[in-house]
């Protein structure tokens, strides 16, 4: 098991003092006797995730390890969390961008478009790497890209608006080599163009493999695809 973060450990220590000192809130379950009002929002978030037993943290996840291990931030999360959702300073921006560029692996034969019909299903599907009461079984179903959760693509399906609309993407942007590389990079690791973006790193995280990226790109660029109607 991983070590608790200093903040979570501090909160646990605080809880112990409360209980040991006999000043826990009356009638409250003593194991949960923590004074929320004394916490900063960050401390409260850490407490709720790591200490309050709301999440099943020892559940196994598909990439190996446990949910608790998945919660541990990698270097990019840390760099982007420090700025607290604001705009990255120049130094963070350059470091995040450089690390993202280095992470991108290109297909041996160059970037090509795959099968837009499979891409359509993958762009729609949110299946894969989920944890909760039941983990996703990757042997039974392909991992999707969940693009519609944040983007509108073809208009025959309803998309989200956390990201910009990608309707008519291939028709308006064309299929030059530079354009295909940009789209590939965006799907593989978007921090290369948008440091600290909310868009996931699908290639870098291993959620989408080379074929899945090619198929989703076909869905975005193929003139036959409903995205370009």
The residues of the shown chain that bind ligand HEC, judged by CB under 6 A, are 123, 145-147, 149-151, 162-164, 166, 183, 186-187, 194, 197-200, 202, 216
Min CB(178)–ligand HEC separation in Å: 12
CB 220 within 8 A of CB 227: yes
Rounded Cα gap, residues 141 and 79, in angstroms = 34
Min CB(22)–ligand HEC separation in Å: 46
How does 33-71 read in b/e, with b if 16+ C-beta sit within 10 Å? ebeeeebeeebbebbebbbeeeeebeeebbeeebbbeee
Q: Residue 120 or residue 151: which is nearer to ligand HEC going by CB?
A: 151
Min CB(133)–ligand HEC separation in Å: 22
Q: Residue 57 or residue 170: which is nearer to ligand HEC going by CB?
A: 170
- Tokens representing 5 are 């973060």
Min CB(132)–ligand HEC separation in Å: 18
Question: 117, exposed or middle or buried, with CB in 10 Å at 0-12, 13-18, 19+?
Answer: middle
Q: Residue 88 or residue 200: which is nearer to ligand HEC going by CB?
A: 200
Q: Residue 37 or residue 158: which is nearer to ligand HEC going by CB?
A: 158
- Tokens representing 77 are 């999360």
């Amino acid at each position: 098991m991983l070590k608790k973060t200093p903040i979570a450990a501090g909160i646990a220590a605080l809880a112990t003092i409360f209980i040991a000192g006999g000043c826990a809130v009356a009638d409250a379950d003593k194991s949960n006797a923590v004074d929320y009002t004394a916490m900063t929002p960050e401390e409260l978030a850490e407490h709720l995730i790591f200490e309050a037993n709301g999440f099943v943290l020892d559940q196994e996840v598909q990439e190996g390890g446990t949910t608790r291990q998945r919660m541990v931030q990698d270097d990019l999360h840390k760099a982007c969390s420090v700025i607290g959702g604001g705009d990255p300073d120049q130094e963070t921006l350059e470091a995040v961008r450089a690390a993202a560029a280095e992470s991108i692996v290109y297909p041996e034969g160059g970037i090509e478009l795959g099968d837009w019909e499979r891409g359509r299903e993958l762009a729609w599907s949110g299946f894969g790497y989920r944890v909760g009461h039941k983990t996703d079984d990757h042997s039974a179903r392909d991992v999707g890209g969940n693009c519609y959760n944040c983007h509108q693509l073809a208009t025959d399906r309803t998309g989200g608006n956390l990201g910009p609309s990608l309707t008519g993407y291939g028709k308006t942007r064309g299929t030059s080599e530079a354009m295909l590389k940009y789209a590939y990079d965006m799907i593989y690791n978007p921090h290369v163009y948008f440091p600290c973006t909310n868009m996931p790193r699908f290639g870098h995280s291993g959620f989408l493999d080379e074929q899945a990226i090619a198929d989703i790109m076909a869905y975005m660029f193929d003139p036959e695809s409903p995205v370009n109607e």
